[in-house]
Amino acid sequence: MGDHYFSASPSVASRPGTVRVHSGDVELSLTTDSGVFSHGRLDRGTKVLLDSVPMPAVRGPLLDLGCGYGPIALTIASRRRRLPVWAVDLNERALGLTRGNAEAAGLGNVTACHPDEVPADVTFAGIYSNPPIRSGKQALHAMMLAWLPRLAPGGRAFLVVSKNLGSDSLHRWLDGHGFPTTRLTSEKGYRVLEVAPRTN
Ligand SMILES: C[S@@+](CC[C@H](N)C(=O)[O-])C[C@H]1O[C@@H](n2cnc3c(N)ncnc32)[C@H](O)[C@@H]1O
């Protein structure tokens, strides 16, 4: 694993590459770089997520939690050009890539920023994420507890997790913490979990 999970400023030298993202009627050409998750390719889990998720039934801002170079943020921003899309990451190189990719694609509805920069009163109709499972359970659970309570009524979160990296244990944990969770898809070794707002 590279330092992209833990470092705000990757030390590895920049080595830009291009990735074509094609999902449904969205086609994007995105710049990636070393020191950022899935450099030079579209992650298979991300592809499973993009090909399976619906857009939310309610209207409101969308969030890509852990945006990397931006394949999820930019795809959902293309599907809903009038909605604000927040793309957050701790990795500054990732945020720079997402900003540049949004600009190149003419997607002015994307704001890429550090998680702390999202105003506290913003709630989300949809949260879309390939979460940083390898950061460990504690960090993952803290992230879930920070963002899932910000789902708007009727909103949904969609999380893609590899079966081998604990999708079923995350599913149980979410249910156990009051977030009703169902399995939307199971494909190519990945599960997409659909999470509803907390009931209690
Ligand atoms: C599995 S990668 C997914 C990247 C991108 N969405 C994709 O599909 O290619 C998870 C991302 O979460 C970021 N990350 C790690 N901890 C985070 C945190 N606490 N808040 C926001 N992002 C975080 C990592 O830097 C990494 O870019």
Q: What average pLDDT is seen over the chain? A: 95
Residue 90: Cβ within 10 Å count: 18
Cα angle, residue 117 at apex, residues 155 and 102 outer, rounded to 5°: 75
Domain 3-195, second-level architecture? 3-Layer(aba) Sandwich (3.40)
pLDDT tens-digit readout, 123-163 = 999 999 999 999 999 999 999 999 999 999 999 999 999 99
Whether 4 has a pLDDT exceeding 60, the answer reads no
Question: What is the helix (H) or strand (E) element at residue 172, kind and residue range?
Answer: helix 167-176
Assess whether the C-beta atom of 132 lies below 6 angstroms from ligand 1. yes
Backbone angles phi, psi at 139, to 5 degrees: -65, -40
Residues 86-105: what's their mean pLDDT?
98
pLDDT on residue 6:
57
Assess whether the C-beta atom of 115 lies below 6 angstroms from ligand 1. yes
CA distance 73 to 132: 16
Residue 137: Cβ within 10 Å count: 12
Residues 63-85: what's their mean pLDDT?
98
Assess whether the C-beta atom of 162 lies below 6 angstroms from ligand 1. no
Assess whether the C-beta atom of 92 lies below 6 angstroms from ligand 1. no
Assess whether the C-beta atom of 19 lies below 6 angstroms from ligand 1. no
Model pTM above 0.75: yes
Nearest CA, atom 10, ligand 1: 132
Which distant-in-sequence residues (6+ apart) come within 8 Å of 100 by Cβ?
A: 31
CA distance 85 to 43: 21
If one residue of 1, 67, 144 were mutated to test the ligand 1 pocket, choosing by the most ligand atoms within 8 A of its CB, it would be: 67
Residues 20-35: what's their mean pLDDT?
97
Cα 89 to ligand 1 centroid, rounded to whole Å:
6
pLDDT on residue 1:
45
